[in-house]
């Protein structure tokens, strides 16, 4: 028989009249439940024919009003679904399939789960309407008895469903339960690590702990007796047409003696027009007295690591003591070097001083707001706590100043992974160098505004650490650092924070949870479905309290991104697919244009916009560029892995309706919709 729905463990949450059962046949019965009439209905059961006639009329009107209300609700839902369907049709018609991953092994595995769930859903629906809703141990015993007695089997479907029940009880359920238990244990370990980091951050805030200079605070206005060693500034770029002007202008405006500062523009562009534009911009600043040089590699190998390695081989580099590295979209303040370089003075064991990032486009769209939450936790908590208590953290690849002696002594830039910044940081740590993180020194930059750019960035950021872990594990074990530092590198830095988080997040919420809907013997407890994601989201969002209104979208989006991160992690660990692929993150150039407008309108003198000549022409050029950009045809992509998982989760949500599991249904429904929106590229900006 088909049981009534009970969303919260079978407890009645509303009053109702007793269930009326109409039995026409002992093997076929139906169930009807009527709500208790409300006071507004004025339906009072009393004696007398007059009252009964009046009650019948009122009941008719009440039923008509409720039918009208239900019809209006259905009309609204139908209209919303129709609009959403229209959007989906347009997206599918104009979108481009993400063919680079649609034939991957990972996508093939997801498709197997999707087809498996669809077949099982068909079985369960058919069994449900036959009155077979087996969730209890006694009913499983009944099914086992049916299978053991062939004479009791009345049809092929009965036999097949009986076999499936035995398989799920004897084989599938134990496997799923064991894997779920492993994920829950990993969650507790991960939560403990996050909690300790948050407590460390709180301790730093309460006691106002931060790196201090041996000679006291730096006087930024002191132009004579300050500490001014030789500093090399490097800007690696590749086809950065949108942001090259802001990068060159910002570095050329750094407040440092010209005789002790050299700026290298390391251009890896393969577009001749971009090369010409960057070269002309460098020449403008050279004419204005800035010590800046343009370098373009003939043989472009090794991506960013190869570019930096080539620049460090220049003969004049030996005259410089420190090197500051900035990506093309970074805009350091003019006093950046004055606020970072002095920490090296009289500290010969300091190899790196890292500044934090701030984002000029963090409120551009929902995608940028969600990235702000993750990156705020990374800098405010992870980097700051590790810097204060361990003197070690992963170099962020930009907005940092290195002691050249530390770079060269640790083996220099290597091209063996796509995370050359983390690679050099680990090797420098193994050689005994200490790092300083300055949480109060910010450097403006951009975060990706389109899901396409963000997805590729995250793939590189999560495949690279696994490549590096595989390569440097023997060096960590054989190094002369303490056991504590080795344990921190292996278990905390690599395994816990780079491997475990995407593993249990994807496995638990994208595979195990939907599978438990079809194997009710292994159903996850409610607290696992609700408390685990809520706890992780709450801890991550603490450093950015203004983002609390976005905690639910953040929770759903992080689970959605776990697919990309898990795929990247596996690819990097086992050298599969595009684990060594490097795609430059698409920049919008919004901050560049904004600064240039401000420069032209308010400060017609030589500052951070561009070279002083032809500012009027530059303003007109920017306006034309903005108009042309607005007319560019944009498109979206269709992400097959995300769409496949959307169908898996929504199928499991339908199955949860049959077993009346409230919290599981809502989680699967909203998570499936989140995958659907991301799969259709309905989050963030479209790409050109």
Residue among 193, 267, 421, 595 flagged as catalytic: 421
Distance, in Å, from the CA atom of 624 to the CA atom of 605, rounded to the nearest integer, reads 23
> Closest Cα to residue 669, out of 686, 684, 652?
652
Q: Residues with Cβ < 8 Å from 603, sequence gap 6 or more?
A: 609
Can you list the pairs that 278-287 forms with residues at least 24 positions away whose Cβ atoms lie under 8 Å? 278/237, 278/240, 278/244, 278/248, 281/244, 281/245, 281/248, 281/610, 281/611, 282/248, 284/610, 284/611, 284/613, 285/248, 285/249, 285/252, 285/611, 287/611
Q: What is the Cα gyration radius of the chain?
A: 31
Distance, in Å, from the CA atom of 42 to the CA atom of 57, rounded to the nearest integer, reads 11
The string over 667-679, giving b where at least 16 C-beta atoms fall within 10 Å of a residue's C-beta and e elsewhere, is bbbbbbbbbbbbb
> Is 268 an active-site residue?
yes
Q: How far is CA 374 from CA 2, 241, 504, 555, 584, in A?
A: 45, 28, 18, 11, 21
> Closest Cα to residue 522, out of 191, 184, 130?
184
Q: What is the DSSP string of 51-63?
A: HHHHHHHHHHHHH
The one-character DSSP state at 38 is: P
Distance, in Å, from the CA atom of 283 to the CA atom of 292, rounded to the nearest integer, reads 9
Q: Residues with Cβ < 8 Å from 333, sequence gap 6 or more?
A: 442, 443
The one-character DSSP state at 259 is: G
Distance, in Å, from the CA atom of 631 to the CA atom of 635, rounded to the nearest integer, reads 13
Residue 364 contacts residue 449 (beta carbons within 8 Å): yes
Phi and psi (nearest 5°) for 431?
Answer: -90, 5
Q: Residues with Cβ < 8 Å from 569, sequence gap 6 or more?
A: 462, 463, 466, 498, 499, 502, 503
SS3 breakdown of the chain: % helix, strand, coil, rounded to 5?
A: 60, 10, 30
The one-character DSSP state at 381 is: I
> Is 601 an active-site residue?
no
Distance, in Å, from the CA atom of 388 to the CA atom of 391, rounded to the nearest integer, reads 6
> Closest Cα to residue 429, out of 493, 382, 342, 339?
493
| Strand residues in 12-64 grouped as ranges (E) | 20-25, 28-32
| Strand residues in 61-103 grouped as ranges (E) | 96-97
> Closest Cα to residue 394, out of 512, 529, 493, 516?
493
Distance, in Å, from the CA atom of 667 to the CA atom of 675, rounded to the nearest integer, reads 12
Residue among 98, 193, 267, 268 flagged as catalytic: 268
Q: Which residues on adjacent β-strands are paired with residue 685?
A: 450
Q: Residues with Cβ < 8 Å from 324, sequence gap 6 or more?
A: 231, 232, 233, 234, 336, 337, 340, 400, 401, 402
Q: Which residues form the catalytic set?
A: 268, 421
């Amino acid at each position: 028989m088909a049981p009534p729905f009970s969303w919260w463990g079978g407890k009645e949450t509303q009053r109702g009249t007793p269930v009326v059962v109409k039995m026409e046949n002992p093997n076929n019965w139906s169930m009807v439940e009527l709500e208790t009439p409300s006071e507004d209905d004025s339906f009072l059961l009393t004696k007398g024919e007059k009252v009964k006639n009046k009650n019948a009329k009122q009941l008719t009107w009440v039923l008509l009003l409720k039918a009208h209300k239900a019809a209006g609700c259905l009309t609204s839902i139908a209209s919303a679904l129709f609009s959403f369907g229209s959007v989906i049709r347009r997206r599918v018609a104009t979108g481009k399939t993400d063919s680079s991953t649609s034939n991957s092994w990972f996508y093939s595995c997801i498709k197997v789960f999707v087809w498996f769930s669809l077949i099982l859903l068909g079985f369960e629906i058919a069994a449900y309407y036959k009155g077979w809703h087996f969730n209890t141990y006694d009913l499983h015993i009944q099914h086992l008895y049916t299978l053991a007695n062939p004479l009791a089997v009345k049809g092929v479907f009965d036999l097949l469903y009986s076999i499936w029940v035995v398989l799920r009880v004897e084989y599938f359920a134990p496997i799923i339960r064991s894997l779920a238990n492993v994920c829950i244990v990993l969650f507790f370990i991960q939560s403990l690590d996050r909690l300790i980091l948050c407590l460390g951050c709180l301790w730093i805030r309460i006691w106002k702990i931060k790196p201090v200079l041996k000679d006291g605070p730096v006087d930024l206005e002191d132009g004579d007796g300050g500490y001014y060693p030789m500093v090399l500034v490097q800007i690696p770029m590749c086809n950065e047409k949108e942001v090259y002007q802001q990068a060159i202008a910002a570095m050329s405006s750094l407040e440092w003696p010209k005789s002790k500062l050299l700026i290298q523009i390391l251009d890896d562009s393969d577009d001749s027009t971009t090369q010409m534009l960057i070269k002309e911009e460098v020449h403008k600043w050279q004419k204005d007295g800035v010590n800046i040089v343009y370098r373009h590699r003939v043989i472009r190998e090794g991506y960013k690591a190869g570019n930096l390695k080539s620049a460090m081989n220049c003969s004049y580099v030996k005259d410089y003591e420190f090197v500051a590295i900035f990506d093309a979209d970074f805009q350091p303040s003019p006093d950046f070097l004055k606020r970072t370089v002095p920490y090296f003075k009289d500290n010969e064991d300091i190899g790196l001083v890292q500044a934090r990032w701030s984002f000029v486009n963090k409120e551009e769209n929902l995608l940028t707001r969600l990235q702000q939450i993750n990156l705020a936790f990374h800098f405010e908590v992870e980097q700051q706590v590790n810097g204060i208590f361990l003197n070690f953290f992963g170099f962020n690849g930009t907005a940092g100043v290195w002691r050249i002696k530390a770079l060269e002594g640790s083996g220099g830039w290597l091209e063996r992974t796509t995370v050359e910044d983390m690679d050099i940081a680990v090797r420098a740590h193994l050689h005994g160098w200490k790092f300083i993180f300055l949480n109060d020194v910010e450097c403006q930059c951009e975060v990706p505004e389109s899901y396409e750019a963000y997805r590729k960035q995250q793939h590189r950021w999560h495949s690279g650490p696994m490549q590096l872990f595989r390569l440097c594990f023997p060096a960590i074990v054989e190094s002369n650092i303490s056991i504590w530092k080795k344990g921190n590198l292996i278990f905390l830095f690599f395994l816990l924070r780079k491997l475990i988080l995407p593993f249990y997040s994807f496995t638990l919420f994208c595979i195990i949870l939907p599978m438990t809907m079809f194997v009710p013997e292994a159903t996850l407890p409610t607290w696992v479905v609700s408390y685990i994601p809520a706890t992780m989201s709450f801890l991550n969002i603490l450093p950015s309290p203004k983002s609390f209104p976005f905690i639910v979208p953040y929770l759903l989006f992080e689970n959605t991104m776990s697919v990309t991160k898990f795929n990247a992690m596996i690819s990097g660990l086992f050298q599969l697919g595009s684990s060594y692929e490097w795609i430059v993150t698409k920049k919008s150039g919004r901050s560049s244009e904004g600064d240039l407008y401000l420069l032209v309108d308010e400060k017609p003198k030589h500052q951070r916009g561009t070279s002083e000549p032809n500012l009027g022409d530059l303003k007109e050029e920017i306006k034309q560029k903005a108009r042309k950009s607005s007319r560019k045809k944009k498109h979206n992509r269709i992400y097959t892995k995300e769409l496949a998982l959307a169908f898996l989760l929504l199928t499991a949500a339908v199955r949860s309706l049959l077993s009346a599991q409230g919290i599981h249904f809502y989680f699967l429904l909203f998570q499936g919709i989140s995958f659907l929106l991301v799969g259709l590229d309905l989050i963030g900006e479209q790409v050109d």
